[in-house]
C-alpha cells in the first residue's frame, strides 16, 4: 500500500494539513485547527501527532508576547524548548532581524569609534548561547582588525602578514587588498630602478618588500644578486681575482657581463694550456699555468679534474715502463685516496692486472677520497711517490 499512488496522495495531504494546522495555531485559531484535523482524527497515529502539536503550541502566545516586549533571550529559550516554533513566521522574522543587526554591528565594530554602537545593537542578544559565540568572535575579529590597521599605519608589514596568517578572515577586508597592491607596486618600481642601474634605491625598496610574505624570497634573491654584482665589480677593480672568480661562479648574469666574459676567457685559455701538460702527465707544468687559481674555491673541482687526468697518464706510463708492481700499486692507492674510486681508475686496474697478474691488491678496501673533497694542498709531482 505504501507504494501506491493513493497512499502517496494521502501522505502529501497530511503534510499540507499539518502545515495549515500549524499556521492556524500560530494565529491562535484553535477552532480552525480542529476542523482541519477532522479528516485524520480516526487514525490513532495521527491523533498522537496532533496532540503533541497542540501541546507544543500552548506557550506560543507567551512566545509572541516575549518578542513584542523585546525579551529576546527568553523568546529564544522558549523556541529551543519548543523547536516547532522555529518554523513559525515570528521566529523567522526574529532570525532575520538578528542577521541584519549582526551585519550592522560588524560594520560599526571595525571602526574604533563605532564599538559602543556595535555593543548597543547586540545588547538584546546577550544570554542567548547560540548568539554569544558569534558575538564573541565578532569582538575578537574587531580587535584583530584594528591591530591590522595599526600595524599597517606603522608600516609594520611583517607584523601585518603574521596577523593575516593567524586570522585568514582579514583577507576579506580592503586593507589586505591594499597591501597586495602596494607590494606589486614596490616590486614593479624595484625592477625599473634595477633596469636604470639605480641599485641603491632598488635595494631600499626590496628591503621593504621582504616584509611581504609573497615577495620575501624574490626580494631576498634580488638583493643578494645586486650585492653580488657590487662585490664582483669591486673585486675586479681591486684585482682581487679570488673573490671575482668565486662570485662569478654563482651568477649567470655576471658571466654574461663584459668583465665576466673576460675572466672566463682567461680561465679557458689557461685551462687549455694546463690540459696540454696533463696529457704528458706533467703536473709541474699544470701547477705553473694554474698557480693563480689555487686559492679559488670555485675552481677546485676543475683543478682536481686536470690533475687527476695527469696522474692517470703517469700510471699508464708506469705500466708501459714496466715499473715495479709495488710502485704502481702505491700510485693506485694514492689516486683513490685523492679522487675516489672512479671509472677510470677501475679501468686502469683491469689493465694493470693483465700486466701484473700476481698482484693481490683489492680496490674496494682502499681508503677513498672524492673530487668534492680534493684540495690544491694535495698536489704531488708524481702519484707514484
Q: Are residues 14 and 143 in the same domain?
A: yes
End-to-end CA distance of the chain: 106
The answer to whether 223 and 203 are in contact (CB under 8 A) is yes
This prediction's pTM:
0.53
In a domain, 127, yes or no: yes
For residue 290, give the nearest of 280, 281, 308, 277 by alpha carbon: 277
Q: Are residues 78 and 113 in the same domain?
A: yes
pLDDT at 322: 92
Structural domain ending residue among the three candidates 123, 153, 183: 153
Indicate if the alpha-carbon torsion angle 309, 295, 254, 212 is positive or negative.
Answer: positive
Listed residue (116, 135, 185, 177) closest to 152, CA to CA: 177
Instruction: Print pLDDT tens along the chain (385 aa).
Output: 444 454 455 455 555 656 666 665 556 655 565 555 555 554 555 555 566 666 666 676 777 787 888 888 888 888 888 777 787 788 888 889 888 888 888 888 777 678 888 888 888 888 888 888 888 877 888 888 888 888 999 999 999 999 999 888 888 778 889 999 999 999 999 999 988 888 889 999 999 999 998 899 999 988 888 888 888 888 888 888 888 888 888 888 888 888 889 989 999 999 999 999 999 999 999 999 999 999 999 999 999 999 999 999 999 999 999 999 999 999 999 999 999 998 999 999 999 999 999 999 998 899 999 999 999 999 999 999 8
* Shared-domain flag, residues 197 and 95: no
Does 158 reside within a domain?
A: no
* DSSP per position, 119-159: HHHHGGGTT-HHHHHHHHHHHHHHHHHHHHHHHHHTT-HHH
Is residue 10 exposed (0-12), middle (13-18) or buried (19+ Cβ within 10 Å)?
Answer: middle
Predicted confidence at residue 132, as pLDDT, reads 83
Cell 491523533 belongs to residue? 47
Q: How many domains does the chain have?
A: 3
Residues 283 and 372 in one domain: yes
Residue 159: inside a domain, yes or no?
A: no
Q: Are residues 21 and 149 in the same domain?
A: yes
Measured distance CA(225)–CA(202) in Å, rounded: 12
Domain limits for position 177: 164-238
Please say whether the beta carbons of 64 and 54 come within 8 A: no
Asked if residue 234 and residue 301 are part of one domain, the reply reads no
Question: Domain check: are 47 and 168 in the same one?
Answer: no
DSSP state for residue 28 in the 8-state scheme:
T
Cβ atoms of 336 and 362 within 8 Å: the answer is: no
CB atoms near residue 74 (< 10 Å): 17
The pLDDT of residue 125 is 86
pLDDT for residue 3: 47
Domain final residue pick, 120, 153, 186: 153
pLDDT at site 23: 64
Residue 385 lies in a domain: no
Task: Establish if 332 belongs to a structural domain.
Answer: yes
> CA geometry: angle at 377 spanning 374 and 378, to 5°?
55
Q: Is residue 172 part of a domain?
A: yes
Residues 94 and 62 both lie in one domain: yes
Same domain as 175, residue 114: no
Q: Report CA torsion sign: 224, 229, 235, 241.
A: positive
C-alpha cell at 242: 679570488
Position 244 in a domain: no
Residue 231, C-beta contacts closer than 8 angstroms, at least 6 positions apart: 243, 247
d(CA 33, CA 56): 14
Separation between Cα atoms, residue 167 and residue 142, nearest integer Å: 11
Residue 246 resides in a domain: no
140 lies in the same domain as 17: yes
Report CA dihedral (175, 176, 177, 180) to the nearest 10 degrees: 120
Q: What is the pLDDT of residue 16?
A: 64
Tell me: do 258 and 362 sit in the same domain. yes
Question: Of 197, 214, 238, which residue sits at a domain end?
Answer: 238
User: Do both 94 and 188 map to the same domain?
Assistant: no
Amino acid at each position: 500500500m505504501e507504494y501506491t499512488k493513493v497512499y502517496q496522495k494521502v501522505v502529501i495531504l497530511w503534510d499540507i494539513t499539518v502545515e495549515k494546522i500549524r499556521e492556524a495555531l500560530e494565529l491562535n485559531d484553535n477552532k480552525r485547527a480542529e476542523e482541519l484535523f477532522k479528516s485524520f482524527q480516526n487514525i490513532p497515529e495521527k491523533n498522537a501527532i496532533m496532540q503533541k502539536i497542540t501541546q507544543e503550541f500552548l506557550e506560543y502566545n507567551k512566545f509572541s508576547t516575549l518578542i513584542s516586549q523585546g525579551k529576546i533571550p527568553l523568546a529564544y529559550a522558549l523556541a529551543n524548548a519548543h523547536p516547532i516554533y522555529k518554523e513559525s513566521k515570528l521566529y523567522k522574522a526574529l532570525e532575520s532581524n538578528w542577521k541584519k543587526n549582526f551585519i550592522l554591528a560588524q560594520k560599526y565594530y571595525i571602526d574604533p569609534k563605532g564599538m559602543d554602537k556595535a555593543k548597543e545593537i547586540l545588547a538584546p542578544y546577550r544570554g542567548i548561547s547560540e548568539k554569544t559565540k558569534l558575538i564573541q568572535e565578532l569582538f575578537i575579529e574587531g580587535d584583530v582588525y584594528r591591530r591590522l590597521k595599526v600595524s599597517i599605519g606603522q608600516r609594520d608589514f611583517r607584523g601585518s602578514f603574521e596577523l593575516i596568517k593567524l586570522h585568514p578572515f582579514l583577507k576579506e577586508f580592503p586593507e589586505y587588498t591594499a597591501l597586495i597592491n602596494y607590494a606589486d607596486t614596490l616590486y614593479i618600481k624595484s625592477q625599473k630602478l634595477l633596469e636604470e642601474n639605480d641599485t641603491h634605491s632598488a635595494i631600499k625598496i626590496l628591503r621593504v618588500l621582504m616584509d611581504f610574505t609573497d615577495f620575501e624570497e624574490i626580494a631576498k634573491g634580488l638583493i643578494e644578486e645586486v650585492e653580488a654584482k657590487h662585490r664582483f665589480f669591486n673585486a675586479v677593480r681591486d684585482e682581487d681575482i679570488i673573490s671575482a672568480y668565486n662570485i662569478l661562479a654563482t651568477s649567470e648574469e655576471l658571466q654574461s657581463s663584459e668583465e665576466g666574459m673576460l675572466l672566463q676567457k682567461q680561465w679557458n685559455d689557461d685551462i687549455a694550456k694546463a690540459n696540454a701538460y696533463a696529457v704528458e702527465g706533467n703536473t709541474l707544468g699544470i701547477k705553473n699555468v694554474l698557480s693563480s687559481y689555487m686559492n679559488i674555491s670555485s675552481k677546485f673541482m676543475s683543478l682536481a679534474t686536470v690533475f687527476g687526468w695527469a696522474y692517470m697518464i703517469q700510471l699508464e706510463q708506469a705500466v708501459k715502463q714496466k715499473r715495479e708492481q709495488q710502485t704502481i700499486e702505491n700510485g693506485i692507492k694514492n689516486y683513490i685516496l685523492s679522487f675516489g674510486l672512479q671509472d677510470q681508475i677501475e679501468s686502469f686496474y683491469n689493465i694493470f692486472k693483465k700486466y701484473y697478474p700476481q698482484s693481490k691488491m683489492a680496490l674496494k678496501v682502499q681508503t677513498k677520497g672524492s673530487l668534492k673533497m680534493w684540495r690544491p694542498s694535495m698536489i704531488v709531482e708524481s702519484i707514484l711517490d
